[in-house]
Amino acid sequence: MKSIIERKLAESSAVIAATAAQSETVSRMAETLITAFARGNKLLSFGNGGSACDATNFADELTGRYERNRPGLPAISLNTNTSDLTSIANDFGYECVFERPLRALAKKGDVVVAISTSGNSPNVLKAAAAARELGLTVLGFTGESGGKLKALCDLCLCAPSTSTARVQEAHITVIQILCGLIEDAMFPDAPKAH
């Protein structure tokens, strides 16, 4: 069992290290979000399964706190309202669960974070297409190929792996880095939490 654990940790570390080749994309994502927040706009995030957890974590770290005691930033995960999700899925179909609330909540200047390890989740694609139609900036998080989502994004981080687990590990690592970059840029004098 120990050798399996060591192999999995090595695989994860290798994918995360290889993601560093996309540091310019991550930097541009951070700048995009910092500019949007500075202008009073918000982040709207969404994904399925583990990507839903990542989308929610991103919004939580921004509205709550990442490492600094500072004011909350406007970020909404479209995954968290189960009443919305189930009523929309029931009435309009599962492919509409993110697109409908996105259209209801988004304003010009907002930034959308669409997360899909395959890049081909129909409900994520439908919401990303709606965001493009509304003129919003779309930041994508996908796996190695980018899937269909990549073409709908202004910026897309394609984690260099075909393993869902390794892709999700790279995504959450980059999301945490983005939270730190945003806090440090916007609240440099805010004290670090203990």
Q: pLDDT of 135-159, one tens digit each?
A: 999 999 999 999 999 999 999 999 9
* Residue at 8 is within a domain: no
C-beta of residue 113 within 8 angstroms of C-beta of residue 29: no
CB contact burial 28-44 (16+ within 10 A = b; e otherwise): ebbebbbebbeeebbbb
The pLDDT assigned to 63 comes to 98
- What is the CATH classification number for the domain harbouring 87? 3.40.50.10490
**Which residues does 66 contact at the CB level (< 8 Å), separation at least 6?**
176, 179, 180, 182, 183
- Structural domain contains residue 168: yes
Residue 111 tokens, joined: 């930034």
Write out the two tokens for 54.
């990542």
H/E stretch holding 116 reads none
Cβ atoms of 117 and 169 within 8 Å: the answer is no
Residue 92's domain comprises 15-185
Which residues of the chain fall below pLDDT 50? none
Strand 43-47, strand 111-115: pairing:
parallel
Fill in the DSSP letter of residue 68: B
pLDDT one-digit tens code per residue, 47-77: 999 999 999 999 999 999 999 999 999 999 9
Residue 19 lies in a domain: yes
pLDDT of residue 81: 94
Q: Is residue 116 part of a domain?
A: yes
Let me know if residue 10 belongs to a domain. Answer: no
* Sheet of strand 137-142: strand arrangement: 75-77, 43-47, 111-115, 137-142, 155-158
Residue 110: name the closest of 91, 82, 133, 131 by CA: 131
Query: How many structural domains are present in the chain?
Result: 1
Tokens standing for 72?
């909350």
> Which has the closest alpha carbon to 106: 139, 80, 137, 81?
137
pLDDT of residue 194: 76
pLDDT at 121: 98
